[in-house]
Amino acid sequence: MRFALNHIAAPDRSLDAFFALARELGMTEVEIRNDTPDMVGSVPASAVRLAADKAGVTILSINAVYPFNVWSGDLPKKAELLADYASECGAKGLVMCPLNDGREVSDDDLVAALAAMLPILQMRGITGLVEPLGFPISSLRTKRKALNAIARAGGQETYKLVHDTFHHHLAGETEFFPAETGLVHISGVSDPFVGVADMLDPHRVLVDADDRLKNVEQIRAIRAAGYTGPFSFEPFAAEVQGLADLEVALRQSIEHIKAQL
């Protein structure tokens, strides 16, 4: 399996320390962010490329263009600037997340946004990684709906899905799209008391024996269906991010997943 690491796992670590953590775990693929931590707003793209080259890591994505499906205001300019940064730092893709505040976005607006983003990505040779969010308040919850919109926008060669095990479970999805998936995010929920509809990012920990999201089953299913891409750890829980022995915890999660498979 190709395991990767999202910077949200260790947001207090510098870029060099984050890359070093990934390499200590035997990983060569990482994801950086423009929120927590904000690498895009704090480190020049050229410095990110140099650090990645020095560490021997590939930047899978920058997370994220938000809300990509509301193509208005300053979003087009922000998206273009982020695509420029991705190109300059060597990132292969841009994660694209939908509006997540309870407001609906029409299918036509979703298609229009994907169509508008298409030339920005194509001109720079970057993949758009569309990530449906399974929260009840999300304006785009399922991968099936995302794929339909991508097809209508004519973007099948430029866009790929992010299969996030957390959001897949929250949305109640059962379909897997291995050929259309460019990245898998993995995180678990072990809190036995929180209801599925109430699960939020702070509940997302490392995958272990108490996982309620059926990560192992999801990973097994998408691999059996033909997916050979990376599986990137994306835990948002503060108790994970603050671990003094984060490397040990990540290694244990990796070994748990591999043993179950």
What is residue 21's predicted lDDT score, i.e. its pLDDT?
98
Per-residue model confidence (pLDDT) at position 73 = 97
Answer for the pair 188, 207: CB distance below 8 angstroms, yes or no. Answer: yes
**Element housing 231 (H / E):** strand 230-233
Between CA 51 and CA 23 the distance in angstroms is 13
pLDDT at 35: 97
Residue range 2-260, CATH number: 3.20.20.150
Torsion angle, CA of 19/21/24/30, rounded to 10 degrees?
Answer: -50
Mean pLDDT of the chain, nearest integer: 98
Q: What is the DSSP string of 91-113?
A: --EEEE----SS----HHHHHHH
Q: What is the pLDDT of residue 61?
A: 98
User: What's the pLDDT tens digit per position in 235-244?
Assistant: 999 999 999 9
Percentage of the chain exceeding pLDDT 70? 100
> What value does the mean pLDDT take over residues 164-180?
98
Tens-place pLDDT, residues 222-259: 999 999 999 999 999 999 999 999 999 999 999 999 99
The mean pLDDT value for 121-135 works out to: 98
Going by pLDDT thresholds of 50, 70 and 90, the confidence category of residue 58 is very high
Q: Residue 19 belongs to what H/E stretch?
A: helix 15-24
- State residue 2's pLDDT score: 97
Question: Crossing angle, helix 107-124 and helix 75-89, to 10 degrees?
Answer: 30
Instruction: Spell out the residues 6+ positions from residue 68 whose beta carbon is closer than 8 angstroms to its own.
Output: 75, 79, 96, 97, 98, 113, 114, 117, 130
Phi-psi region of 205 (alpha: psi -120 to 50; beta: other; left: phi over 0): beta
Identity of residue 258 = K
How far from 102 is each of 98, 140, 167, 206, 239, CA to CA, in Å? 11, 11, 16, 28, 28
81 bridge partner residues: none
Q: Which two tokens stand for residue 208?
A: 């272990």
Q: Any idea which residue has 């898998």 for tokens?
A: 184
Percent of the chain past pLDDT 90, that is, above it, reads: 100
| Two tokens, residue 43 | 């480190």
> Per the structure block, which two tokens stand in for 8?
């949200």
* pLDDT the model gives residue 80: 98
Name the residue ranges covered by the structural domains of the chain. Answer: 2-260
